[in-house]
Amino acid sequence: MRTITLDTNIYSLRSILSTSFVFLDDYYIFLDQTDKEKITVQIKSKEKNGDLEKAVNEFKNELISTNLRLKISEENRKIRELIVSSALYGRPTEKTPFRDPEGISKTWEEKHRRFEKVNDPEGICKVWEEKHRGFEKVNDPEGISKTWQENQHRNPNIHKAVNKGCSMANKPEYTNMFKEQKDGDKSK
């Protein structure tokens, strides 16, 4: 039989119990607390020729592993409970509104809209058309950038040559010429 003395300031009782539980199949384990901060672990092999030295070393390694696992588990307890509760009960509904005091769920534009007017005096955030709308009238006196329909009211004779055929269509002599041809065809 081998006895190990453990400091409870380093290893919690829970981690010692969990580690002992792992060794119950192959060893007899008995715990006692002789001092306020000391716990003794008595390990006895179930086999007659069991390797106790190896068992003690494995026990120590397992104890460190268990102690660390329990510490991490305790540190992550809140987030684990949050994940499980959201998985069981779903996302917050209108009855239980989603709390977002820091606006993490908002987009950048939603979050910084009120700062745009203050921090963008030169209008860097604006598109080109918004920014240069006032200069179009000054820099384009002939209306080159405008469409044909937009320019027609300003200079109606500009496309006279193109529309010559259309203007001729309004004259009665021009249209009668075609009528005569059609009548002639009928007589034939």
Partner 1 sequence: MEIRANKKIYKRKGIKKTIEAYNHLGKIDLSENKNYFIVSAKNIDKEIEEIFKDEFCNYLLFETSKCP
- Nearest to partner 1 of 31, 169 (CB atom): 31
**CA separation for the pair 153, 151 (Å, rounded):** 6
DSSP string for residues in 102-156: T-TTS-HHHHHHHHHHHH-TT-TTS-HHHHSGGGHHHH-TT-TTS-HHHHHTT-T
The radius of gyration computed from the CA coordinates of the chain, to the nearest angstrom, equals 46
Q: How far is the CB of 20 from partner 1 (least distance, A)?
A: 6
148 lies in the site for partner 1, by CB under 8 A: no
* Binding flag, residue 21, partner 1 (CB under 8 A): yes
Window of 25-33, 51-59, 64-72, 136-144 that interacts with partner 1 by CB under 8 A: 25-33
CA 178 – CA 185 distance, rounded (Å): 11
Give the residue with the Cβ less far from partner 1, 37 or 136. Answer: 37
H/E segment holding residue 20: helix 13-22
- For partner 1, which residue of 3, 5, 10, 24 counts as binding (CB under 8 A)? 24
Distance (Å, whole) CA 83 – CA 76: 11
Smallest distance from partner 1 to CB 105, Å: 38
Interface with partner 1 in residues 42-71 (CB under 8 A): 44
Stretch that binds partner 1, among 32-40, 81-89, 162-170, 174-182 (CB under 8 A): 32-40
**Which residues pair with residue 29 across a beta bridge?**
43
**Does residue 83 touch partner 1 according to CB under 8 A?**
no
- Give the dihedral sign, CA 142/148/150/153: positive
Nearer to partner 1, 32 or 116 (CB): 32
The answer to whether residue 10 forms part of the interface with partner 1 (CB under 8 A) is: no
- Taking the least distance from each CB to partner 1, the nearer of 65 and 151 is 65
> Which residues of the shown chain bind partner 1 in the complex (CB under 8 A)?
13, 17-18, 20-21, 24, 28-33, 39, 44
